Amino acid sequence: MARIGVFVCWCGSNIASTVDVKAVADAAAKFPGVAHAVEYKYMCSDPGQAMIRQAIADKRLTGVVVAACSPRMHEPTFRRLALSAGLNPYFVEMANIREHCSWVHDDRPLATTKAIETVKMLVEKVRRASPLEPIRVPVTRKAMVVGGGIAGIQAALDIANAGVDVILVERSPSIGGHMAQLDETFPTLDCSQCILTPKMVDLAQHPRARIYTYAEVEEVKGFVGNFRVTVRQKAKTIDHAKCTACGVCIEKCPASVPSEFDCGLATRKAVYVPFPQAVPAKPVIDRGACLWFTKGRCKVCEKFCPAGAVSFADKDSLVEETVGAIVVATGFDLIDRGLYGEYGYGKLADCIDGLQFERMLSASGPTGGKLVKPTSGETPKTVVFVQCVGSRDDSKGLPYCSRVCCMYAAKHAMLFKHKVKDGRAYIFYIDIRAAGKGYEEFVKRAVDEDRVVYLRGRVSRMFEKDGCVIVKGADTLSGQQVEIKADLVVLATAITGSEGVRDLAGKLRIGFDQYGFLSEAHPKLRPVETNTPGVFLAGACQAPKDIPDTVSQAGAAASKVLGLLSSPELVREPLVASVDEAICIGCFACENTCPYGAVEHGLRKDAETGLEVEVAKVNPGICEGCGACVPVCRPKAMDLKGYSEEQIYSEINALSGRLNVKG
């Protein structure tokens, strides 16, 4: 027999001024199953809580309804209280008679009626409640980071430094990512590699870190605390255990292809190390370019390798790693300039993108840091930088701002001027967005000290004319059409999610938008979490970011991971779905509906036929408790704890029979 206690809160005058709290308590006292009903000034205050604790003991209450503010406010408070008083916390419900009643109604009788009926509903709900225990899931104290750019490196380092094992998976032959391609970084103009490479080395040598380069995530099974990730180690064809990184193979290799790292401004061999400071510094063979794999002859490298490290028999291998949490740091790509007919479809040789310009600037780059006009090799005198190429351009389907272009365009212009003292730099912009620490000052420097010319407007067309690129655009400030005869044009092309990220998102069951950026769980309050518990985001894979933001998000992701892995087991709210296997007919509508893959297959011996039939089972470690599976279960074998069929039925049922409160 239920013995429910109802505690009506005045919340000072917040509730009492509009709701007749005494009438509510009196009415509640008469509800079936209610053993005790009182009102008090502040239920959440110490005396208020003491009062409830006392009543639970004295009146041997089996359930508690606190009629006060929103459960989103104080439900945890009163559930904790119940626990401390020896009552299962899930026997506590809150009737929201403040936010949903006293604060939004003036009419005392009507507000009081609503309060009474609301209390009645929750009394009925509590009467049908069942005791629930927190779900405990053992946790594997190890993390995986996908992507070896600055975001991944930083996250991995932070995790490893905290004493937790970490595995980093990078698709290319070396970690480092885009940051390794950059020359100097805004707003301080310090050398990118000088600050990045030490981190790369730290990670490579870290006792708690393991790096898979030239590898990709093949499959992800399991769930938060225990992901089972299968990693595909692509065949390197060079045995790194034997390789001494002497470089002879590279020297001798006859096959050359455009270098990804140098953005096609230079070539690399089929057997290659992407860049001098690469980690690992040992080469792999690009089978797409290797003559042996494409034409079936050569094997020169094998002949010359002193260490006998070349193994053409090498195959892709699959490795399974169990980790408790995953950080996705897959970074970004630049959009294809081919989108822009008006800019020559990316076919103008003297028109390059920002990353190519970075390579050109870099001392270790294809030109050794010398700026050249690709067509002639001369030093460019006039350089036009164009911002928002793709970004903020609905006509190209990219409405968003790529966030870093304003800054790097300014940086590029400056660095150009530093190298070519008598050069002229023009920047076409729409707005200047320099909202970072020291950013505005940086742009100002470009204008004041380096005399960079800013033109507000879009470039309408550019085409090649006697060895130069003619750039036509509008200067919307002077209201004039401008035409510039440029030696070199640098396009700040828009940033999108990196290629292949959609597959990965599918494997991890996390969302992404149409531009390939991964979805955070909440844009403001859960910016590094995803909708899959245990999977976090760092860096440009979530949205365009500059290095400082990327590094801080990487740190945030790392701290989330460390928080998650800080205890040997995971404690989750027990408000999850569960299946009555005796009723389940195995149509698995629940499985198709569940956004988390929490429904698994089990076997049940059917009482009627004696056959072993497949039935649905909910993995409480994965279930998020949304209850989407219940309405699609026709026989109602599925139910949701805490919002059970019976509880909701009773709440609705409690409303039959109107109440009229007379003033």
Instruction: Map the footprint of another protein across residues 84-103, applying CB under 8 A.
Output: 96, 98-101, 103
How far is the C-alpha of 115 from the C-alpha of 106, rounded, in Å? 13
- Residue of 277, 298, 150, 276 whose CA lies nearest to 285: 298
- 45 contributes a contact to another protein by CB under 8 A: no
Q: In terms of CB distance, is 393 or 645 closer to another protein?
A: 645
- 492, 507 Cβ separation under 8 angstroms: no
Q: What does residue 246 show for φ and ψ, rounded to 5 degrees?
A: -75, -25
**Integer angstrom CA distances of residue 57 from 50, 61, 133, 516:** 11, 7, 21, 57
- 74's enclosing H/E stretch is helix 71-84
Q: Please tell me whether residue 531 binds another protein under the rule CB under 8 A.
A: yes
State the nearest-atom distance from the C-beta of 504 to another protein, in Å.
17
Q: How many chain residues interact with another protein (CB under 8 A)?
A: 83
Identify the residue among 86, 207, 368, 657 touching another protein (CB under 8 A): 657
CB of 129 to another protein, least distance (A): 14
For another protein, which is the closer residue by CB, 448 or 612?
Answer: 612
φ, ψ for residue 569 (rounded to 5)?
-140, 160
Q: Which residue number, 437 or 524, has a Cβ lying nearer to another protein? A: 524
Residue of 13, 54, 70, 294 interacting with another protein (CB under 8 A) = 70
Query: If binding is defined by CB under 8 A, does position 194 make contact with another protein?
Result: no
Label the pairing between strands 488-493 and 351-353. Answer: parallel
Q: Is 507 in the site for another protein (CB under 8 A)?
A: no
Residue 1 Cβ, how far from another protein at the closest point, in Å? 13
Can residue 77 be called a binding residue for another protein (CB under 8 A)? no
The least CB distance from residue 467 to another protein, in Å, is 50
Q: Does 515 bind another protein (CB under 8 A)?
A: no
In angstroms, the CA 262 to CA 244 distance is 25
SS (H, E, C) 360-422: HHCCCCCCCCCCCCCCCCCCCCEEEEEEEECCCEHHHCECCCCCCHHHHHHHHHHHHHHHCCC
The reply on whether position 1 binds another protein by CB under 8 A is no
Between 116 and 401, name the residue whose CB sits nearer to another protein.
Answer: 116
The yes or no reply on residue 60 touching another protein (CB under 8 A) is: no
Determine which residue in the list 83, 194, 435, 652 makes contact with another protein, applying CB under 8 A. Answer: 652
Q: Buried (b) or exposed (e) across 155-177, using 16+ Cβ within 10 A?
A: bbbbbbbbebbbbbbbbbbbbbb
Q: Is 397 in the site for another protein (CB under 8 A)?
A: no
**Closest separation between CB of residue 173 and another protein, Å?**
36
**Residues 6 or more apart in contact with residue 361 via CB below 8 angstroms:** 183, 184, 369, 371, 412, 415, 419
Applying CB under 8 A, the span of 65-73, 269-277, 297-305, 443-451 interacting with another protein comes to 65-73
Residues 329, 556: Cα–Cα separation, whole Å: 12
**Given candidates 117, 158, 183, 487, which one binds another protein under the rule CB under 8 A?**
117
Only one of the segments 116-124, 154-162, 277-285, 564-572 lies at the binding site for another protein (rule: CB under 8 A); that segment is 116-124
Give SS3 for 599. strand
Residue 178 DSSP code? G
**Residue 132 within binding range of another protein, rule CB under 8 A:** no
Alpha-carbon distance 53 to 50, whole Å?
Answer: 5
Asked if residues 134 and 572 have their Cβ atoms less than 8 Å apart, the reply is yes
* End-to-end Cα, the chain, rounded Å: 35
Q: Are 61 and 88 in contact (CB under 8 A)?
A: no
Write the CA distances from 69 to 8, 65, 225, 358, 648, integer angstroms: 10, 12, 35, 57, 20
**Least distance to another protein, CB of residue 397, Å:** 16
Q: What count of other Cβ atoms lies within 10 Å of the Cβ of residue 241?
A: 8
| β-pair partners for 227 | 222, 323
Q: Any idea of the CA torsion for 256, 260, 261, 266, to the nearest 10 degrees? A: 40
User: Considering only residues 46, 86, 106, 315, which one is a binding residue for another protein as defined by CB under 8 A?
Assistant: 106
CB of 612 to another protein, least distance (A): 8
Kindly identify the residues of this chain, within the stretch 584-643, that bind another protein according to CB under 8 A.
Answer: 585-589, 592-593, 595, 606-609, 611-612, 614, 624-628, 630-632, 634-636, 640, 643
Phi, psi of 396 (to 5 degrees): -100, 5
233 lines the binding site for another protein (CB under 8 A)? no
Instruction: Based on the shown chain and the rule CB under 8 A, indicate whether residue 315 belongs to the binding site for another protein.
Output: no
- Pick the closer one to another protein by CB: 363 or 582: 582
Contact positions with another protein (CB under 8 A) in 19-38: 20, 22-23, 26-27, 30, 32
Is residue 662 close enough to count as binding another protein by CB under 8 A? yes
- 655 forms part of the interface with another protein (CB under 8 A): yes
The residues in 428-487 that bind another protein, with binding defined as CB under 8 A, are: none
Q: Determine if 9 is a binding residue for another protein (CB under 8 A).
A: no
Binding segment toward another protein, per CB under 8 A, in 232-240, 434-442, 484-492, 650-658: 650-658
Q: How far apart are CA 94 and CA 71, in angstroms?
A: 6
Distance CA(394)–CA(241), nearest Å, equals 51
Nearer to another protein among residue 41 and residue 485 (C-beta): 41
CB of 660 to another protein, least distance (A): 5
Q: Shortest approach of another protein to residue 525 CB, angstroms? A: 10
Least Å distance, CB 637 to another protein, is: 8
Site map 557..586 versus another protein, x via CB under 8 A:
------------------x------xx-xx
Q: Which is nearer to another protein, 73 or 434 (CB)?
A: 73
Three-point CA angle 154, 156, 162, nearest 5°: 105
